[in-house]
């Protein structure tokens, strides 16, 4: 599957510009995590991980109000178009509802970084200049520790970076932030 094919599927089902930006952020973070977690990352693997990030929320708007279908409904709409390993990671990213457990590093990476990208955006939006370039990993870590900040960001999902991916939280935040900073223009931040 090419990135262009994945983007076309994404924009067929997802119309909210902020959700599309979230998908772009997840794509960038997943590519960075592929580099970090793969012994010999290659462009094909990075592309695959990126597509998982890009498509993980493609069915979000059409599943509104039915979280148990999120991550599954896309495959009813697009049968046999998405490679199985990518499809599995997408289904597993919402495992609390789908009951499809992450197995691989790719599966756990999207399950962990999904919530973190939202927390990084929320932290950026409270910063005086609202620019990703101004944000430091320490700023994100401090916001992470504030339980009242970005309450919707599931910290337990983010913390699974340590147990499932063996990446310390500080490093996970830094990798994710740097990846998002590289596409700050696309994210409008």
Cβ contacts of residue 134 below 8 Å, gap of 6+? 127, 128
The two three-digit tokens of residue 118, written as one number: 């939202």
User: What residue numbers bound the domain in which 24 lies?
Assistant: 3-187
Mean pLDDT of 56-79: 92
Reply yes or no on whether the pLDDT at 158 is more than 80: yes
- Which tens digits make up the pLDDT trace of 85-139? 999 999 999 999 999 999 999 999 999 999 999 999 999 999 999 999 999 999 9
State residue 80's pLDDT score. 87
User: What CATH number is associated with residue 91?
Assistant: 1.10.3210
Give the total number of structural domains in the chain: 1
Q: In this structure, are residues 4 and 55 in contact, taking their beta carbons and an 8 Å threshold?
A: no
Q: In this structure, are residues 187 and 154 in contact, taking their beta carbons and an 8 Å threshold?
A: no
CA-to-CA dists, residue 32 to 24, 37, 80, 104, 128, angstroms:
13, 9, 27, 16, 27
pTM for the whole structure = 0.95
Q: In this structure, are residues 34 and 28 in contact, taking their beta carbons and an 8 Å threshold?
A: no
State residue 177's pLDDT score. 98
State residue 184's pLDDT score. 98
- Which tens digits make up the pLDDT trace of 15-65? 999 999 999 999 999 999 999 998 777 889 999 999 999 999 999 999 998
State residue 39's pLDDT score. 78
């Amino acid at each position: 599957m090419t990135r262009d094919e994945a983007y076309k599927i994404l924009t067929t089902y997802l119309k909210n510009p902020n959700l599309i930006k979230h998908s772009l952020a997840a794509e960038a973070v997943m590519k960075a995590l592929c580099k970090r977690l793969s012994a010999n990352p290659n462009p094909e693997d990075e592309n695959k991980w990126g597509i998982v990030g890009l498509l993980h929320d493609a069915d979000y708007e059409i599943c509104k109000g039915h979280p148990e279908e999120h991550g599954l409904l896309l495959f009813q709409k697009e049968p046999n178009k998405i490679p199985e390993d990518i499809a599995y990671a997408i289904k597993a990213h919402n495992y609390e509802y789908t009951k499809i457990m992450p197995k691989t590093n790719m599966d756990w990476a999207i399950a962990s970084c999904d919530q973190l990208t939202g927390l990084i955006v929320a932290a950026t939006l409270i910063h005086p200049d609202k620019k990703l370039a101004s944000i430091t990993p320490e700023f994100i870590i401090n916001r992470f520790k504030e339980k009242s900040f970005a309450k919707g960001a599931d910290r337990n999902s983010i913390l699974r970076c340590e147990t499932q991916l063996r990446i310390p939280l500080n490093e996970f935040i830094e990798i994710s932030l740097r990846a998002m900073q590289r596409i700050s223009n696309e994210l409008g931040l």
